[in-house]
Amino acid sequence: MWQALEPSQWMEKRKAGLQDVRSAVAGIIEEVKKNGDRALIGFTEQFDKVQLNSIAVSKNDIKSAYSRVDPKLVELLRHAAANIRRFHELQKPNDMWLKEVEPGITLGVKTTPLDRIGAYVPGGRASYPSTALMCAIPAKVAGVRSIVACTPAPVNPLTLVAMDIAGVDEIYQIGGAQAIAAMALGTESVTPVQKIVGPGNVYVTAAKMMLRDKAEMDFPAGPSEVAIIADDSADPRYVAADVLAQAEHDPNAACILVTVSKQLAMAVGKEIERMLPDAERKSIIERSLGNAGYVVTSSMEEAISIINDIAPEHLSIQVRDQMGVLSAIRNAGSIFVGPYTAVACGDYASGTNHVLPTAGYAKLYSGLNVAMFCKTSTVQIIDRQGLERLGDTVEGLANAEGLNAHARSVRIRRE
């Protein structure tokens, strides 16, 4: 169960599966495109075993959800939401900045929020009200006018409450690849969005990648994963607890310990065996642990190199030289430094975002943030003096490219 791993094999396994489902996802997308709401209702009955009377969740349904949730949980959601909002407010760019770079030439950037975005909130094996907060609050901070959320039926009341607290405007009780298709293509009930964000299973991830020409997507965010880089100063109980916490997400979740200490790796395995019998989601964890294990390296430099190569979604740093290792990390979705920084803190309430690239895509993408809900326009303001400074360069280069009308458009202004 707790096994030695080859990092390359671990990564291959993380990327496997997307190609296997492309054909099935293409069929789902085509069905939604042709039959709209009827397809969504049919797929919900087929996959979720729920017969829908309405795709949309009503305001009354949202209101009644509060009465079905412990008020203490509502307060916990509000606390988490406040922390998430606080962190993302720090990311908010200026609406516009302008700077005179030389006399007569002023340049800048105007930032504009998207009008309408879609958030996918997973359901199924577990409800994820925290993901509703993570997807919608940054969009709200950015100034997005209309936030749509899709989540599989039946919707957990706690998820509905979280969506309401986060500021979601429209909620649809549909999941899977069909939900991504509905938000990207539109149906009778669902108006298309400009961008879709949020994690999901391999079908959701494949649909997002296949519909990028219809709506912008955040990044591939599939089954969750954690890497832990540790030396002999790490507490094996803490490492084992982080492994089990990640493993309970999903049978396809994955965990890897990269360490310079063989003794630590063995001790973590023993702690996992000791803790596992008491785990409530034991059956899921046992399957997920098939994707888990350890790598023992001869140096911390080698361990860091492996982490940068696998580019994990979550990275826990549990070493003596915490800041030294942190400064050397180039590829990771979200980083948790020190023995008391449990990955679960970032999942729920520290304020950072838990919607992150998986399967090595942290090499290419950042985690979900406020900037992803904005677009920018460059601005230039040039007076006559500034035009004189640029004129010869613009005319000369335009003529060299054979674009004489470009040159003329500047020349007539200088005459």
57-113: per-residue pLDDT in tens?
999 999 999 999 999 999 999 999 999 999 999 999 999 999 999 999 999 999 999
Catalytic machinery residues: 313-314
362 in Cβ contact with 356 (< 8 Å): yes
Q: Please check whether residues 240 and 337 belong to one and the same domain.
A: yes
Q: Please check whether residues 265 and 316 belong to one and the same domain.
A: yes
Model pLDDT, residue 322: 98
Q: Please check whether residues 229 and 184 belong to one and the same domain.
A: no
Total-model pTM: 0.94
Q: Please check whether residues 174 and 66 belong to one and the same domain.
A: yes
Residue 2 lies in a domain: no
Residue 27 lies in a domain: yes
CATH number at residue 53: 3.40.50.1980
Q: Please check whether residues 234 and 146 belong to one and the same domain.
A: no
Structural domain count, the chain: 3
Residues 6+ apart with CB under 8 A from 25: 177, 203, 206, 207, 210
206-233: per-residue pLDDT in tens?
999 999 999 999 998 988 999 999 999 9
Residue range of the domain that includes 57: 19-99+114-218
Q: How far is CA 128 from CA 120, 124, 285, 286, in A?
A: 10, 10, 18, 21
Q: Please check whether residues 176 and 55 belong to one and the same domain.
A: yes
Q: Please check whether residues 187 and 48 belong to one and the same domain.
A: yes
**Token pair of 95 as six digits:** 């609406």
Residue 358 lies in a domain: yes
Residue 42 lies in a domain: yes
Q: Please check whether residues 260 and 292 belong to one and the same domain.
A: yes
